Structure formats: C-alpha cells, structure tokens
Chains A and B, each alone.
Chain A
Amino acid sequence: MAEYLVDIKNERLSFFTPAGEVKALNDVSIHLKEGEVLGIVGESGSGKSVTAYSLMGLTAHPGKLLGGNLNFNGHQIENMTEKEMRKIRGNEISIIFQDPMTSLNPVYTVGNQIMEVIRLHTDKTKQEAKERAKELLELVGINEPEKRLKQYPHELSGGMRQRVMIAIALACEPKLLIADEPTTALDVTIQAQILELMMELKEKLGMAIIMITHDLGVVASMCERIAVMYAGKIIEYGTADDIFYHPKHQYTKGLIRSIPRLDTKEHERLIPIEGTPVDMLNPPKGCPFAPRCDEAMKICLREMPPVTEFGEVHYTQCWLNQKEEMEKGASHE
C-alpha cells in the first residue's frame, strides 16, 4: 500500500443543501506518489477544492462523504476521528488557501500564528519555536524575519501574506502540500514569484503537492500529473504531456484551445467553450459535458461514459473515445 502517498478511490461526496442534494464528487479517484506534483484543473464548482478538503477532513457543512477510500500515508482518512485527524492536519498535510488577505487571523501577530502550529505538532520550547519561525520566514524569502514576526497581517502586502501562509504550511515539513488556487488573488508578477518559491521549496523539502487551479498555465509549468475535473468527475487524467499535447476529452481540448498563445496566426480568435457550467442541483442524466459538447452523440445524453484508458496513466471518460477504441478494436479483429 506504500506505493502511493495519496490514494483516493471512488470517492463520493454530497452536499445536502435545503434546495436538494448536490453531488459534489462522483466516483473520483486520485493517486499521487511521494514528491509528485498533481494539478487539479476545473471551473468553479467542479469539485476540485472539495476533493482536497475532504482529504484533510475539512469538508464544510452540510457536506457528507458517502463512499470511497481515502488513503493518505497509511492512514484511512474516512475512518479517522476528528481527534486523530487533528494530528495529521498542519503536520503531515498542509494547505495554502486562495486568499491570503483573509486567511490569516487579523488579531494575532504573524509570529504567533506560525509558532502556534510549530508548538502544536512538535515539543519545541517557545524560544525554539521562535527560532524555527524565523528560519521559515527566511526560507519563504521574507526579509527582516525578526521584525516581521512581531507584525500583524494587515501590515503586510498580499504576496507577503501568502509567503507567511506558506511558512505556516511548511512549518512541520508536511509530506503533502495542498495549494488551493494559491495565486488567484495575487498580482501577476507576484503570482510567478510564489509559484517559483513553491517549486524551489518542493525541491528542497521533497514534499508532494496537489495544485488546485483553474489556470492551465500554472499547471503546465509545475505539474507532472494533471486531473481535469468537470461537474464532480475526473473526465481526463494524464501526464502534463498527455493533457497538453494529446488531449482526448472534448472539454480538455476546449480548455486548451481557449488559452491565449503566442504562436497563433494573426487574426485567429480564441475559441471559448460555449454554454454555461452544469447546475449541480439538476445534473444531466448522461455525460455532464454533453449539452456543451460539439460532438455529442445520442448515447452521451443518456448514459455516463465508462473509462477509456490510453496508457498507464492517461484515461478519459468520454463516449467518443470509447467509440474510437471500439472501432480500433473491431478493425484489429
């Protein structure tokens, strides 16, 4: 079982809202080796954050895990009590949130918030924790760490706060770092700095990273594996090369077509994906992407497509691929 650091199998999770059940995750499987970087890509509401939060046992009310196995570093997450979970959070798995402006508690100093997590998971003394906090601030590239420790979050810039969040996340040298759109709320120039920092730290500390984003550019530069999510399902999964150079699912193709590129010919327009995301309260019966898919077939509207495998890692859930494979198989015979 030690083959994977993270091994999520067939996870199903729903939010029971007053308006009805929202199937946020539907048969999601993800696995990740130590030191690997996985990118989860999808539009808002596709379930990418929910997957990551459930791994930390942070599923928000009224969400409920309905099935599946969540294995992390030998722990069966779905069977763990809140108390056992607390020992893992911030220690073996850490998370960086989207908005650094609101993710730090405004009424405590930066030092207090970093030292808090160090003292919680290690038996360092106050003085040692302070030394470690200083070290961490240096590690994430904050100058004058001594002074910064005494400052409050509102006295720091957005990029600086995100660095502090990273410092907090790395305080106990986690095996897995979840980055939930870590750069979305930042300026473009700062974005690049933060991503660079994360990659640098990954090299140094050797942790695995799950990168959640809707920005394909971010995953392209960072991730070894990429999962594309749509309406609570992983519709395509593969290496960065698979996804960017051999996309198989119509949605992934659409996503890649919609990235601005430098090598496009003059007057060539970007091609957007038409239509709106699925209403998760009333999902379509068949493939959730079918209503927006140019190539949709009758079967697409009726049945959820099965998995089509293209290699060791690369797979999709799409009837078109299924059809091609079947035709290929038929011609071979």
Chain B
Amino acid sequence: MFKYIVKRIVLGIVTIWAVATLTFFLMNMVPGGPFLSEKAISPQATAALEAKYGLDKPMSQRYFTYMTDALKGDFGDSLKQRGRTVTSIITSRFPVSARLGGSCVLVSMILGIPLGCIAALKRGKFADSLISVVATCGIAVPSFVICTVLMYFLGVKLAILPTIGLDSIKHYIMPVAALSFYPTAYIMRLMRSSMLDVLGQDYMRTARAKGLAGGVILFKHALRNAILPVITYVGPMLAYTITGSFVVEKIFVIPGLGGEFIKAINGRDYTMIMGTTIFLATLVIIMNVFVDIAYKIVDPRIKLK
C-alpha cells in the first residue's frame, strides 16, 4: 500500500510536470501575447511591461525560471490583474466553485445511485422506462440549454429564484440543478447497467438460495459490486466540477474559477493559465489515487500496483 502511494505520487509529479511543460510551450508558441490586446498602450509601454514580467527573455530561460519558482510554491503574479498573485486569485475563486461543484456531485449521487438501482430492479416495468427516458434526456440536453430554460422559466417568467450570484441557498438551486443534470443522468445509467450485470451474476442466485431477504441481497451483495463503475466516474468528475463550470458560471454570473480560467486564456494571462492548469491537473491526479484506493477497499480482488 505504502509503496503504491509513493509510486503514484512520483508518477503524478511526472504527469504534472509533463502537463505544465506542454502547456507552457504551447501557450508561448501561439501568436499573440498578454499585452497586445490592450488599447491605448504605446509600444514602449508594452515593452516596459514585458520587461517587468520577464517576457522579453528567451522562452527556455523563462521556462526554467517559472519551473524553479513553481517548485518553491511561487506561481507568480497575474499579468492581467495587476498586483495579485496567481495563488491568491485561485484561493479566492476556488472555494466558490468547490461549493457549487461539491453540492452538484452530492446531489447527483444521492439521486443517481438509488434511481439507477430502482430502474435495474424494475427492469422492463414502468418505473424503469420512466427513469431511462429521464436519464437519456439528461445526457442529451446540453447544460447551457438547461441553464437557459431554468433561467427563463424560474428566474424571468415566474421570478421565484434569483438569477445572478451565489449569495444564499436559494441562489444555489438553479446552478446546482443545471450542473447536476448530466452527472445525475450519467450515474443513473451507469448504476442501472452495472446493477443489471450484477443481478445476473451467480452469486446473487447463491444469496437468494441462502434465504436472504431482498433488502440484504440488494444492499449487502449487489450494491457493493455494482457501485464500482460509479466510483470510477465520480472521482475525476469531482475534480472537474469543483474547479468550476464555464457555462454555468457565465450564465449565472458566478465568480468561480472556471470563468477566471476562460478569462485568463482569452487574455493570455500566462501565469494565471499555468497556475490554474497545474492546480487542475493536481486535483485530477489526487482524485484518481483516491478512486484507486476506494476501489481496493470495495473490491478485494483489485491489486494496487
């Protein structure tokens, strides 16, 4: 176990390094720069700004400076939001996205897992058809459509829910609903198919032959086996949702990390792009390790190597 974790950490660091390097060079090789789009700045001023942030130096030199600083935990200042460090921007924006994303993951698991189970147990019956139709619609309707439809009816027409910001519980309802739609539907489908698979297994027949009650069979014998694919899905999904959804943040005007990232990309805020990318990559890798460990706990057959 310990050996495995060390191995995963080393592999993770290599992956993060590769991602950072790739991003750095790709970003810098693309034509354009952080200060080109700003109007009313003379060439001299641009040059001065570039000199200040070290952008006049050759790419390889900047790469090494950045990497050594990053290793020390210094991700530099934002190029566009003057006077703020990348770390401070991320730490102020991330909690907003994390709260939103976290509630979304929670909602989708609380709804998705039981509904998927019900559909599998009632296979071919009305409940199954209903859940399957809802689930298929859920993965077919893009989140921006759900956002706008919710906003139009609940926010504009009926005006029962606030449409902008994240100040109160009420503010959470629409964004969380919009954001949870797809993962809920996906988990339902995943859960249904893996549950159906498990229900057909021989050991389920053994459980029935033992004289166990339906509830014990379902919760003890079936669920633990059927939940495995859901774990695989939820781990990385958690990483992606807590770092913010661009669409939902754009529509509901939520000051989260997702919108910040898009802004940074469009404005070529190099340091900000690098910081956010490394942050996201780290989260994804950590989540994958958690998934592997959770897998090992649930399924003793898995060997961590």
Residues of A within 8 A of B (CB): 56, 58, 85-91, 94-95, 97, 99, 102-108, 116-117, 120-121, 152, 154, 165, 168
Most A C-beta atoms less than 10 A away, residue of B206, B207, B212? B206
B225 x A105 contact (CB < 8 A): yes
Q: List the 8 closest A-B pairs by CB distance, nearest first.
A: A89-B211, A90-B210, A90-B211, A102-B202, A105-B203, A86-B211, A103-B202, A117-B210
B299 x A168 contact (CB < 8 A): no
Q: Which residues of B contact A99 (CB under 8 A)?
A: 202
B213 on the A face (CB < 8 A):
yes
Q: Determine the distance from Cα of A104 to Cα of B212 in the docked complex, in whole angstroms.
A: 14
Most A C-beta atoms less than 10 A away, residue of B220, B224, B300? B300
Q: Which residues of B contact A165 (CB under 8 A)?
A: 206
Could you pull out 16 A-B pairs where Cβ atoms are within 8 angstroms?
A58-B205, A58-B209, A86-B213, A88-B211, A90-B210, A97-B202, A99-B202, A104-B206, A105-B207, A106-B203, A106-B225, A108-B220, A117-B210, A120-B210, A154-B301, A168-B210
Q: Which residues of B contact A58 (CB under 8 A)?
A: 205, 208-209
Q: Determine the distance from Cα of A259 to Cα of B236 in the docked complex, in whole angstroms.
A: 58
Q: Mark B271-305, 1 if CB is under 8 A from A, else 0.
A: 00000000000000000000000000011110000
A97 x B300 contact (CB < 8 A): no
B209 x A94 contact (CB < 8 A): yes
B206's nearest neighbour on chain A, judged by CB, is A103
Q: Mark B184-225, 1 if CB is under 8 A from A, else 0.
A: 000000000000000001110111111111000000110011
B225 x A107 contact (CB < 8 A): yes
Q: Determine the distance from Cα of A90 to Cα of B210 in the docked complex, in whole angstroms.
A: 4
Known: A86-B213, A97-B202. A106 touches B208 (CB 8 A): no
Q: How far is the CB of B81 from chain A (nearest CB, A)?
A: 50
Q: Determine the distance from Cα of A103 to Cα of B211 in the docked complex, in whole angstroms.
A: 15
Number of A-B contacts (CB under 8 A): 68
Q: Determine the distance from Cα of A165 to Cα of B298 in the docked complex, in whole angstroms.
A: 22
A103 x B301 contact (CB < 8 A): no
Q: Which residues of A contact B224 (CB under 8 A)?
A: 107
B205 x A106 contact (CB < 8 A): no
Q: Determine the distance from Cα of A11 to Cα of B213 in the docked complex, in whole angstroms.
A: 26
B298 x A105 contact (CB < 8 A): no
Q: How far is the CB of A140 from chain B (nearest CB, A)?
A: 16
Q: How far is the CB of B218 from chain A (nearest CB, A)?
A: 13
Q: Which residues of B contact A154 (CB under 8 A)?
A: 300-301
Known: A152-B301, A154-B301. A105 touches B210 (CB 8 A): no
B202 x A91 contact (CB < 8 A): no
A89 x B301 contact (CB < 8 A): no
Q: Determine the distance from Cα of A228 to Cα of B224 in the docked complex, in whole angstroms.
A: 41
Q: Determine the distance from Cα of A13 to Cα of B301 in the docked complex, in whole angstroms.
A: 39
B222's nearest neighbour on chain A, judged by CB, is A105
Q: Determine the distance from Cα of A168 to Cα of B209 in the docked complex, in whole angstroms.
A: 10
- Select one of B207, B209, B225, B300 contacting A152, CB under 8 A: B300
Q: Which residues of B contact A116 (CB under 8 A)?
A: 210, 212
A88's nearest neighbour on chain B, judged by CB, is B211
Q: Determine the distance from Cα of A83 to Cα of B225 in the docked complex, in whole angstroms.
A: 25
Q: How far is the CB of B299 from chain A (nearest CB, A)?
A: 6
B208 x A89 contact (CB < 8 A): yes
- Select one of A89, A104, A105 contacting B209, CB under 8 A: A89
B228's nearest neighbour on chain A, judged by CB, is A107
A120 x B212 contact (CB < 8 A): yes
Q: Determine the distance from Cα of A204 to Cα of B43 in the docked complex, in whole angstroms.
A: 100
Q: How far is the CB of A273 from chain B (nearest CB, A)?
A: 30
Q: Determine the distance from Cα of A95 to Cα of B203 in the docked complex, in whole angstroms.
A: 12
Q: Which residues of A contact B211 (CB under 8 A)?
A: 85-91, 117, 120-121
Most B C-beta atoms less than 10 A away, residue of A94, A104, A116, A121? A116
Q: Mark B234-272, 1 if CB is under 8 A from A, else 0.
A: 000000000000000000000000000000000000000
A102 x B209 contact (CB < 8 A): no
Q: Which residues of A contact B225 (CB under 8 A)?
A: 105-107
Q: Which residues of B contact A108 (CB under 8 A)?
A: 220-221
Q: Determine the distance from Cα of A90 to Cα of B202 in the docked complex, in whole angstroms.
A: 16
Q: Which residues of A contact B299 (CB under 8 A)?
A: 106-107
Q: Determine the distance from Cα of A144 to Cα of B261 in the docked complex, in whole angstroms.
A: 60
Q: Determine the distance from Cα of A152 to Cα of B206 in the docked complex, in whole angstroms.
A: 16
Q: Which residues of B contact A107 (CB under 8 A)?
A: 224-225, 298-301
